Structure 1
Amino acid sequence: MRFLLSIVVNAVALWLTTLILGGVRVEPYADTVVALVVTYVLLGVIWGVVNATIGSLIRLVGFCFYVITLGLIALVVNGFLFWIVAWVSELMGFGLAVDNFWWAIGAAIVMSILTAILGGIAKRLTDRRSSADRSSKER
């Protein structure tokens, strides 16, 4: 359940990011609304996998750079990960198009902020639902 919620949060954050920034756009595999939604969901999956695998490896190896730059290197790393997502989706024949690396860094910043906000809202909603379920079972 948590994994699916993470994919939906990533997809919505990516959709909002493409609305905010002009240098980042999504190209669906077909010209229908369903294809656009499926493309956003697939990009959410790709973002989660890239961030969990490559992102974790880069953070582990580059820990010293994070300490030296007081975490500012994270902007560049997240931009690089965003660019990797665009590259992977392009290889699949659909997906994310980023004009240049600066747009990737900007998109990573915006997406991080939106993911944090949407993730907090989703967590609060699921916590309420689970506490309501527990209290109804206790009666």
Structure 2
Amino acid sequence: MTTAPARPATLWEAGTRPAGGALRLATALLVTAAVADLVLSDGLGLFYDLVFATICVVLALTVRPSDFFPVGVFPPLAMLVVVLLLAISEPQAVADARDGVVQATVSGLSSHAVALALGYAACLALLLVRRQFLAAHPR
């Protein structure tokens, strides 16, 4: 009796990283991107948005299937934390300098809503595709 050779893992199966380490790394990268964006420009801008969306996609592809939930809730919380930290420390980076913390947070979230929506949608879509693929093709 001959067994079929094991096929290589597809993109949908390749994620094996535990969520804890992946989320800590993603958080550090997002904070670094925010700081770099502030150094290079007057406020949080397109560079941060692109890094945010990229990190959302990479997270969805690299974590193991048992850790889909933490990755699925990470993007909006990460955006909120970064914008809130900036609203507290440098409100002019995300809003008008005279705005309070709450107003600066809301303004910052609204000005980066497209990046949040696209990054979050891509993350959730990739997690869904991975879940469906793994259910249809168990190893």
TM-score by length of 1: 0.35
Q: Which has the larger radius of gyration?
A: 2
More helix by share: 1
TM-score by length of 2: 0.35
More strand by share: 1
